[in-house]
Amino acid sequence: LVSGGTYKLYYSPISAGFGPGWVGGTSFATASLITMSSNQNVPITLAAVYTLQGAFTAGGVNQDGGTVYLFDGSGNYISSSSVVSGAYTFSYLPVGSTYKLYYSPISAGFGPGWLGGTSFATASTITISGNINQPITLAALYSLSGTFLANLHPQIGGYVYLFDASG
């Protein structure tokens, strides 16, 4: 290396549980700058990274071909995982990072949604503290139908309201 030259280091470990990255940053732009003026020793100590995974079923059916989306705690899209053999996987997640999951099933009668909530704001927050198994299980949906008669005459244009048991 040339005296006065500036450099950045990128690492790619072979040990399981550790991902590649830049020394001192998360991208080339934010990595630490090393200016050579003599021989230097730059230690690289990697923090463990973990996996967030789980089964994805809807009405008891594996959602092979469905998709699970990973968002960080601020709402930024991070990645997506196609469901294979009924499971999704996100790897190389650092300790202490927070995420929320958005799912998109393939079975008829099940719509997309946020894990544990109805919006990003109310969705469950997952904090990485090790490898995490987080299943996504959507319960079967049912329909309710019938006839609306008064003195055996159809009530065309009348209304029937449905309330859950809590009112």
Distances (CA, A) of 34 to 4, 8, 22, 30, 42: 10, 6, 12, 12, 9
Q: Residue 52, CB half-sphere, CA atoms under 13 Å: how many?
A: 27
* pLDDT for the residue 21: 83
Asked if residue 158 has pLDDT above 90, the reply is: no
pTM above 0.75, yes or no: no
Condensed to tens digits (0 to 9), the pLDDT of residues 99-135 reads: 999 999 998 888 899 999 999 999 999 999 999 999 9
If you search the block for the tokens 């987080």, which residue do you land on?
Answer: 134
Condensed to tens digits (0 to 9), the pLDDT of residues 130-152 reads: 999 999 998 776 778 888 888 88
Q: How far is CA 94 from the centre of its chain?
A: 14
